[in-house]
A and B are shown apart, each in its own frame.
Chain A
């Protein structure tokens, strides 16, 4: 499914950044949000959603579409900061 938006799950837990994506309270659509697994990179999330940390607290978003870290290497978790590209390069050398 890499690169293709997945159909609307109820909740998606993201290993690497220890957060869960859930529909916003009162979200109307059948598929309130869409996730895209970026090959070798983050999880891209679009739509009507909230991000909850491991204690269930909402993490404030700075933008509509977000990229969640899946490599665990980001310095700004849960957000991606491109570090997976450096990790991949290091593992190839």
Chain B
């Protein structure tokens, strides 16, 4: 991933350590630890704290495809793992405080599935998808893709962490069944991440991972970080199972609205195929995820039921917070992306994209 600009003293200290790699000094780690402590003490809103969410995002990135120019062995640097765990603890506590969790049913697959479907159906969060279908301008469609690209360019990866963390049985088989479809069923050109890249290219956007990171707000990073938190900690395997179920349940119908928005703007099947594919795929996945993954896990390990529901509800809460921020900006005629600040280098992103897109309006 391209290395982003820092957003405060924590990410400044972290990027210094990462760039120095094995040569980083004890003093530099001391500075990082001090910065982490100060950010945690001073943060009034962990979910919207740019410095904290970017730091966590970078620390997780070491476990995905890594940062350009950073020594791959930094993935297991004990000091970095220690800092990550401190930030994670604060992040998990903030999520558990912010996310309302529904009452648990009996730990039977069908009961769990119906509870999750009801949770998703009762969600009355702001609808970015309806806005995209009816009103989004060319620039807003581009911003929509940029915001989604943090997850969608590596679609499915965070949930794959759960595969070896689940015991042999119904839940694991269900997760692999879903993930195989996400990764294209053996056809790389049908991988959902590849389909999303094709959509971005259709609007003249850069698909290099991290290209737009400097303009991504904290709440979008928080959504991504929640998946990594749930996926990378075996203790939280219930959360990642519930997360995927709610993710799939809130996908089919919104994707039909996204497709409508891009068609309205004059884009063809090369751009809209990603959304059309998700209407069909996620209507399958939501049934498997609800009944066999989440329900199957609840039957096998009933003590995980609370976390399954918490993981599912986290999707809805974070989507609602981020969607509200995005729609408020758009309705006021502002960009939903971060402005370039003194801390950030100009990503030169959207202006260049807009100039080079050459698409119909």
Residues of A within 8 A of B (CB): 2-3, 36, 38-42, 44, 62-67, 75-76, 79-83, 85-86, 88-89
Whole-angstrom distance between the alpha carbons of A9 and B283 in the complex? Answer: 24
Q: Which of B185, B286, B291 contacts A64 (CB 8 A)?
A: B185
Chain B residue numbers with a CB within 8 Å of A75 are 256
Contact B256 A62 (CB under 8 A): no
Whole-angstrom distance between the alpha carbons of A76 and B255 in the complex? Answer: 13
| Nearest Cβ on chain B to A81's Cβ, whole angstroms | 5
Whole-angstrom distance between the alpha carbons of A79 and B277 in the complex? Answer: 11
Whole-angstrom distance between the alpha carbons of A82 and B129 in the complex? Answer: 15
Residues of B within 8 A of A (CB): 109-110, 113-114, 117, 121, 177, 180-181, 185, 252-253, 256, 277, 279-284, 286-288, 291
Given contacts A2-B110, A44-B288, A81-B280, could you give 11 more A-B pairs where the C-beta distance is less than 8 Å? A36-B291, A41-B287, A44-B284, A63-B280, A64-B180, A65-B288, A66-B284, A67-B287, A75-B256, A82-B283, A89-B121
Whole-angstrom distance between the alpha carbons of A44 and B281 in the complex? Answer: 12
Chain A residue numbers with a CB within 8 Å of B281 are 62-63
Number of A-B contacts (CB under 8 A): 66
Chain A residue numbers with a CB within 8 Å of B117 are 40, 85
Known: A75-B256, A81-B252. A39 touches B114 (CB 8 A): yes
Chain B residue numbers with a CB within 8 Å of A40 are 117
**Can you list 30 A-B contacts (CB < 8 A)?**
A3-B109, A3-B113, A3-B291, A40-B117, A41-B287, A42-B283, A44-B287, A44-B288, A63-B281, A63-B284, A64-B181, A64-B185, A65-B181, A65-B288, A66-B284, A67-B284, A67-B287, A76-B279, A76-B280, A79-B280, A80-B283, A81-B252, A81-B253, A81-B256, A81-B279, A81-B280, A82-B253, A82-B279, A82-B282, A89-B121
Whole-angstrom distance between the alpha carbons of A9 and B229 in the complex? Answer: 43
- Minimal Cβ-Cβ distance residue in B for A4: B110
Whole-angstrom distance between the alpha carbons of A38 and B291 in the complex? Answer: 9
Chain A residue numbers with a CB within 8 Å of B288 are 44, 65
Chain B residue numbers with a CB within 8 Å of A42 are 283, 287
Contact B252 A82 (CB under 8 A): yes
Chain B residue numbers with a CB within 8 Å of A41 are 287
Whole-angstrom distance between the alpha carbons of A39 and B280 in the complex? Answer: 18
Chain B residue numbers with a CB within 8 Å of A89 are 121
Chain A residue numbers with a CB within 8 Å of B180 are 64
| Nearest Cβ on chain A to B187's Cβ, whole angstroms | 11
Chain B residue numbers with a CB within 8 Å of A3 are 109-110, 113, 291
Chain B residue numbers with a CB within 8 Å of A2 are 110
| Nearest Cβ on chain B to A39's Cβ, whole angstroms | 7
| Nearest Cβ on chain B to A68's Cβ, whole angstroms | 10
Among A36, A39, A42, A82, max chain B CB count under 10 A is at A82
| Nearest Cβ on chain B to A86's Cβ, whole angstroms | 7
Whole-angstrom distance between the alpha carbons of A44 and B288 in the complex? Answer: 9
Q: Which of B252, B280, B287, B291 contacts A62 (CB 8 A)?
A: B280
Shortest beta-carbon contacts, A-B, top 5: A82-B252, A80-B283, A3-B110, A67-B284, A82-B283
Chain A residue numbers with a CB within 8 Å of B252 are 81-82
- Minimal Cβ-Cβ distance residue in A for B284: A67
Contact B253 A65 (CB under 8 A): no
Whole-angstrom distance between the alpha carbons of A83 and B279 in the complex? Answer: 10
Chain B residue numbers with a CB within 8 Å of A62 are 277, 280-281
Chain A residue numbers with a CB within 8 Å of B109 are 3
| Nearest Cβ on chain B to A20's Cβ, whole angstroms | 19
Whole-angstrom distance between the alpha carbons of A64 and B109 in the complex? Answer: 22
Contact A39 B181 (CB under 8 A): no
Contact B110 A81 (CB under 8 A): no
Chain A residue numbers with a CB within 8 Å of B185 are 63-64
- Minimal Cβ-Cβ distance residue in B for A46: B177
Whole-angstrom distance between the alpha carbons of A80 and B280 in the complex? Answer: 7
Whole-angstrom distance between the alpha carbons of A32 and B230 in the complex? Answer: 36
| Nearest Cβ on chain A to B171's Cβ, whole angstroms | 15
- Minimal Cβ-Cβ distance residue in B for A44: B287
- Minimal Cβ-Cβ distance residue in B for A82: B252
